[in-house]
Amino acid sequence: MLDRAIGRRPGAAGESPVDDNPPDLSLALHPRALDEDGGEKEEEEAEPRERRPFSLMDQPLFPNLPPPRPPRPRRLLDDDDDSSSPCCCSSSSLPPAAKRRRDLEARRGAVRAWGCQPLPEADPAVHALMELERRRQIHGIELIASENYACRAVLAALGSHLTNKYSEGLPGARYYSGNDHIDGIERLCCVRALAAFGLDPSRWGVNVQPYSCTSANFAVYTGLLLPSDRIMGLDSPSGGHVSHGYYTPNGKKVSGASIFFENLSYRVNPQTGYIDYDKVEERAMDFHPKILICGASSYPREWDYARMRLIADKCGAVLMCDMAQISGLVAAKECRNPFDYCDIVTSTTHKSLRGPRGGTIFFRKGKNQRKRSGSLPQMGENDQYDFEGRINFAVFPSMQGGPHNNHIAALAIALKQVATPEFKAYIQQVKKNAQALAMALLRRKCRLVTGGTDNHLVLWDLRTFGLTGKNFEKVCEACHISLNKTPIHGDNGSISPGGVRIGTPAMTTRGCLESDFEMMAEFLIRAAHIASIISKEHGKLQKDFLKSLENNSDIIELRNQVEAFALQFAMPEVDP
């Protein structure tokens, strides 16, 4: 009976049914309306299809079928005009997919808005403080010897997308991927660094990753020494830098160089202010340092590198020069060259170089034909310098993490400028201005350490005015003149420095010449007289002295004159 119902012709017993025209069994599951001839009727698209019950021999097979679902609403497309659609009147009536799409776009918009905000909108508080500092720099006289102004191109690199990249390691051997272009920038920077100082790449190498010259110095110690090994540099009260090692008179260790290594400093002659090289040799032969350091933070005269080389060879030390203060003069060949005699040379990248703030390490490589005795084993003619690997490893991973790629790019830009005739002319003017400033002060009966200068700075001994460097610095700051207090040999520098250090690079960058520095000398003398009067009236107690600077008519008058003078000389790429 079932065979007849579905139109199957029965076969013989034991045979499979034979069906010459098999029916469409889909009708059993999805019944369609049939026309009178048994054919399928075409349904009109506009009308919904009626569901008919399916039966077999007039008996319903599925009596409890659920009612048909209502038709799904048409999906809203991006280019549809949804203004007239009732489902777009509120977000609650949107389909789930449309809601998700709208939420994603809102989140993307929020991120883009954060990333594209200008500084005044993103952080008004920081922007306001930056604008105040910008105004201070424009309206003041900058005489701190270690400061300068960077050019527009350097600032652009510092504030660039290079800040986004991590690049631990050296070019070609990075910890992170995606550094092909960063490698190119750092290699170019190294090439330019060697070229700026006229160095043969087969005999000298350079690492441009240190964050500062202090970091560079400590990387050298870390790479070449063991804890408690000995170093020897210029005493801080004599003008040396604390990163060369320094103990206070009561024995306190000030810097990491003194904490992790043993140091004995040499001093300047207390009568002349010059380095006494005979005393240096005498101390070195007694102390036998493994690194002998030349270079200073506040020394206005040339260094005798040839003599220091002889001393280093005699006591068996590596000779290192910290040329941070004079690197611009070295590059311009306007002072003696430490590369002719030293094994390692460190430097900052700003100051007289006018680059970004950072450090560099230059080191000899290749064959070492120099012979030493003493604390280092004697070297034969086939020995090779081993500084490169040890110093590079000390910088990373021993001392630092990833290099600041924006700084390295900015340094490459500055070093390109250093190799130009215009930079040499700038350094020559820096020295002329320092000479003019020194002569102007000397004509006014001021006492200068060593009686003058060979480089870009002068040291002014204020004890003849009855002043300390700290009080004079505060008076100058109130008058919008920036300089810094410094110890003078023979004073109690750790408690009350007796002088100030004055440098010419920054104001030379702004276009000042010799006559302008003579005017600045006049401002400084007036500030010294004001400070002397205040000291006599209110004493030297710091609290009383500082309070007396408020609303002082002499200071206000001098400040106005300083501002009027400074506004004649624009900062690079900054309008007053």
Q: What is the helix (H) or strand (E) element at residue 410, kind and residue range? A: helix 405-418
Rounded CA gap, 334 and 497, in Å? 30
pLDDT of residue 119: 93
**Class of domain 152-419 (CATH, top level):** alpha beta
Amino acid symbol at 68: P
* CA angle in degrees (0–180, nearest 5) for 364-365-369: 85
pLDDT of residue 346: 98
Q: Is 348 considered catalytic here?
A: yes
Place of tokens 């040396």: 240
Q: Is 351 considered catalytic here?
A: yes
**Dihedral sign (CA 80, 84, 85, 90):** positive
90 secondary structure, DSSP code: S
Rounded CA gap, 245 and 231, in Å? 8
Which one of 165, 283, 301, 357 is the catalytic residue? Answer: 357
pLDDT of residue 378: 41
User: Does residue 9 sit in helix, strand or coil?
Assistant: strand
* Beta-carbon count within 10 A of 514 CB: 15
pLDDT of residue 76: 45
Rounded CA gap, 506 and 334, in Å? 17
**Superfamily per CATH, domain 422-566:** Aspartate Aminotransferase, domain 1 (3.90.1150.10)
Q: At what angle do helices 180-196 and 405-418 cross, to 10 degrees?
A: 30
Say how many Å lie between the first and final Cα of the chain, rounded: 107
Rounded CA gap, 347 and 349, in Å? 6
Rounded CA gap, 314 and 353, in Å? 33
| Contact criterion met (CB below 8 Å) for 257 and 231 | yes
* Beta-carbon count within 10 A of 133 CB: 9
pLDDT of residue 547: 85
Place of tokens 């005009």: 81
Alpha-helix residue ranges (DSSP H) falling in 88-246: 96-115, 119-122, 124-139, 152-158, 180-196, 213-224
Secondary-structure percent of the chain, ordered helix, strand, coil, rounded to 5: 45, 10, 45
Which one of 82, 168, 313, 518 is the catalytic residue? Answer: 168
**Dihedral sign (CA 469, 475, 477, 482):** negative
Write out the two tokens for 141. 């006289």
Beta-strand (E) ranges in 127-233? 141-142, 169-170, 173-174, 204-207, 230-232
Write out the two tokens for 153. 């191109």
Rounded CA gap, 384 and 411, in Å? 30
Rounded CA gap, 265 and 488, in Å? 16
Rounded CA gap, 132 and 253, in Å? 37
pLDDT of residue 491: 73
Rounded CA gap, 396 and 415, in Å? 23
Which one of 8, 32, 101, 166 is the catalytic residue? Answer: 166
Which one of 348, 450, 453, 508 is the catalytic residue? Answer: 348
- Residue-range domain boundaries for the chain: 152-419, 422-566
Which one of 147, 186, 235, 322 is the catalytic residue? Answer: 322
| Contact criterion met (CB below 8 Å) for 284 and 234 | no
Q: Is 248 considered catalytic here?
A: no
Rounded CA gap, 576 and 571, in Å? 8
pLDDT in tens, the chain (576 residues): 444 444 444 444 444 444 445 444 444 444 444 444 444 444 444 444 555 555 555 555 555 655 666 666 555 444 444 444 444 445 568 888 888 899 899 888 888 887 888 999 999 999 999 999 999 999 999 999 999 999 999 999 999 999 999 999 999 999 999 999 999 999 999 999 999 999 999 999 999 999 999 999 999 999 999 999 999 999 988 999 999 998 887 888 888 899 999 999 999 999 999 999 999 999 999 999 999 999 999 999 999 999 999 999 999 999 999 999 999 999 999 999 999 999 999 999 999 999 999 999 999 999 887 765 544 444 444 589 999 999 999 999 999 999 999 999 999 999 999 999 999 999 999 999 999 999 999 999 999 999 999 999 999 999 999 999 999 999 999 999 999 999 888 776 656 789 999 999 999 999 999 999 999 999 999 999 999 999 888 876 777 788 888 889 999 999 999 999 999 999 987 654
